[in-house]
Amino acid sequence: MSEKNQGQKGYVRRNSGTSVILTPSPTDFTEWATVVEIRGSEDEAEQILSAFISATGFSQQDPLSPGGSDGGKFVSAQAHIQFGVGGVNMDLYCDVVLGGLIAVPASYMRVSVRLTPDPGGKMDGPITLRGGASENVRPGTINPQLTYPQAALAPNTNGTARPVPPFGRRVHAIIFPVVAAAGATLRFRAGNVDVGETAIPASPAQAAAIPNDVNRVTIRSGTIAITEARLVYEIQT
């Protein structure tokens, strides 16, 4: 007698997905491209659907210094993961990263990807993005994040207020030049009202918790101008 396939014990029941080739635009996001859609079976008390996302064909570089003598390029792309639990459908947005893996209890999952605007021509497309999903497999997952680029800021200036994404729980920022981070802050907003402020966290491990009533966060420069920055939301499901 064959043993029943117990997905929660690590057996992959189904695995599907594909890749898409997208060319970045200097001003706009590309259209969402669906790479996989999967529905879990209904014969298990618990189902875990795992989404796999990655970009290929490039050498990963520092996001604030994407050039390099090896010709590598930084790829800035997002994934939209739609998943259902019972009759409730939810959305999760995150960066596409090498080896990205997200596992959630769900009976339905759809994974779409797109490239972010590339005004500086840093991505040098076309770019191959890959996505897939498996049913009832629960390996260790990454902590997904969603990144918003911020252009140069003069001293004592507010950046663009970025919306807190679904499941966004903590936030930090990458600042260049590094010395500009010493006087820079993160400002929390509820609607159009500033309700809190904190120093730029020293590292991603010390990311600032986002208060429950906050729906947007902005970077404010200090006495030193910021050449470039990235606001990074941590996603927790």
Q: What is the DSSP code string of 29-50?
A: PPPPEEEEEEE--SSSS--EEE
- The pLDDT of residue 231 is 92
**Which CATH number is 102's domain given?**
2.60.120
- In percent, the amount of the chain with pLDDT more than 90 equals 41
Residues 124, 159 share a domain: no
Residue 121: inside a domain: yes
- Provide the number of structural domains found in the chain: 2
- The pLDDT of residue 74 is 59
Show which of 111, 142, 173 is a domain's final residue.
Answer: 142
Residues 231, 124 share a domain: no
Residue 159: inside a domain: yes
Residues 134, 210 share a domain: no
**Predicted confidence pLDDT, tens digits, the chain (237 residues):** 444 444 444 444 566 778 899 988 888 999 999 999 887 666 555 578 888 888 765 544 444 444 433 444 557 889 999 998 777 889 999 988 777 788 888 888 999 999 988 877 777 778 888 888 888 666 556 678 899 888 899 999 999 999 999 999 999 999 999 999 999 999 999 988 999 999 999 888 899 999 989 999 999 999 999 998 999 999 987
Residues 131, 16 share a domain: yes
Q: Which domain holds residue 177?
A: 146-235
Residues 114, 15 share a domain: yes
Residues 160, 132 share a domain: no
- The pLDDT of residue 73 is 53
CB of 184 closer than 8 Å to CB of 200: yes
For residue 215, report the phi and psi dihedrals to the nearest 5 degrees: -120, -5
Residues 66, 129 share a domain: yes
- The pLDDT of residue 198 is 95
Residues 185, 138 share a domain: no
Its pTM stands at 0.80
- The pLDDT of residue 56 is 67
Residues 124, 204 share a domain: no
- Report the C-alpha gap between 65 and 83 in whole angstroms: 35
Residues 91, 194 share a domain: no
